[in-house]
Every structure is written in C-alpha cells, then in structure tokens.
Structure 1
C-alpha cells in the first residue's frame, strides 16, 4: 500500500522561521567498502532518534535520496539552535568521532552539509497530486485556493518584488 496522494494543488504555511539542513556523503572509492560503509550505516540510528524525539529536538521532517555515489538528506528544523544542540548531542558526537577515527583525511568517502536559515514569509511550496513530501510533511499542508494560486500571492509580494 502506497502513501496517500492528495489530489489537486497544495502548499504549506510560511508563517514560521525554519532551518533547512542538507547532509550527505559521497563514495569516492567504491571498492573501499570498509571505509564508506560505516559512514553510511551511522545515519539510520540518528534518523530513528530524530523521529522518536522529534518534538523535543525541534526536528520537523526529512527526505532522503540515493544516487550511484552520493546520498543526500534534506532535513527541516524549527531553529538553528535546535539543530546545533542535536549536533552536540551524544549520538551525533559518537558518530562524528568514529568517522574521524576510521576515515579522517582518507579520500575513500566524503561528507558534506549545508545549513540555511529561512525567515517566515520568504519561502513557498507547491505540491500537485503528491503525497506529503518535503515541507508538506513538516508544516501545515493546505489546499491552494484562488487567494494563493501563484507564487507571488503565496509569498505576499507585489509585481515589483516587494512585500
């Protein structure tokens, strides 16, 4: 059984500050499994922890994508402080320490992350005939009506681009 598809066009509220955190890894040497597999396997337990303690951590939601060499996780948080607090937490620090001990500056596997602080009213989203995805899993999911039927209206900007 698949995810529920919401027929029609939907958007999300944009009345809260949010943090978008993109994190991933890249396998640089495919045959060096002993180097990149521990990095790959460290993430599921952290994801489980995030969803188990979602509200208290300030974690909103996430999406994961897997390519031939690269994985990426897009996470949504309610504040930078909550994200940084989690980064200093026991489970993350243990995984980070293990990565540095096992991989360090070895070029078999790379990791990356990017953090974006987004102010309320400065983002918008559209989902057409989709299950809950991305921000719609993290924020209120609302049908698009006449009053918000284009990006300019959802962002509350005039034709000059000002609010």
Structure 2
C-alpha cells in the first residue's frame, strides 16, 4: 500500500472532511461533544478549525493529509508546545491497525518535512495520549518514543532527539 503525507491545502481539506464524515466520529477529529454526529454545523466547524489552525497566514500548527493509495484516510499534525513540538494523528476506522499511522509519522520525521516555522530542527518532539489508547501507545513505542505516565491516565511520549530535524 502506498502511504504518503501531503501538506494540507484547500483541496486536501475537502478530501479530509469527506474522509472524516465517512469514517470517523466528530469527537475523534475535532473538539466536539462525545456522541455528536456529523451535520452541516459540524462540517463547517471542521473546515473552520483547520483553516484557523493550519491554513491561516500565521498557522499555529502544520497539518498533513495522510493518504493511502491516493485516498485521504486521516491527518497528521505538528503543534509547538511548552515541552516540544507535539505530533498528533487521527485515521478513519478502516485505516486503523494496518501500519498506516507508523508509515505517516516516519515520513513526517524524514528529510525536508519539518522545515518551516513549526517543527524547527532541534526542537524536542512529543506526543500525548492516554493509558486507554493502546493503539496509540503501540504506535509510539514502535517508533522509538519513550512513554511516561502522567496524572489521570495521561501519557506523554518523547521521540529520540535525532529523529526531529
């Protein structure tokens, strides 16, 4: 399977919305109430969320569309934080558990992806999840991240410093 990450643009955002509506719950892909279902309002919020965070003139994060055989299957993001640049990923249900997340993150860590205002070379790379998210923990460990438990089931993962930049 061909997995690639493409920097988010308006075309990619439309593909990402279609993928999210078809294969993910709203709360998995944007701040939304648990149990929310896709409607016109949530679709508009999804678009506004990404336009305001990743497509703005001064973005607060960088986002890539994760594609499998050309189809959008999720998103990968990188956002500066107090203890390093935080990586996050979501995939549609049908793409989970197939190695696509690991392939996407490996591409993010590859040459040339992290150049720019977000993702500066030498900045620590972290990820956050919960003890209940076994799939995310497995992905992070497979990529060489070291996990540390926090409070209330939170887990912070740190990637080896030579992988970022």
Where on the TM-score scale, by shorter chain, does this alignment land: which range? under 0.3
**What TM-score, normalized by structure 1, do the two folds share?**
0.24
**What TM-score, normalized by structure 2, do the two folds share?**
0.24
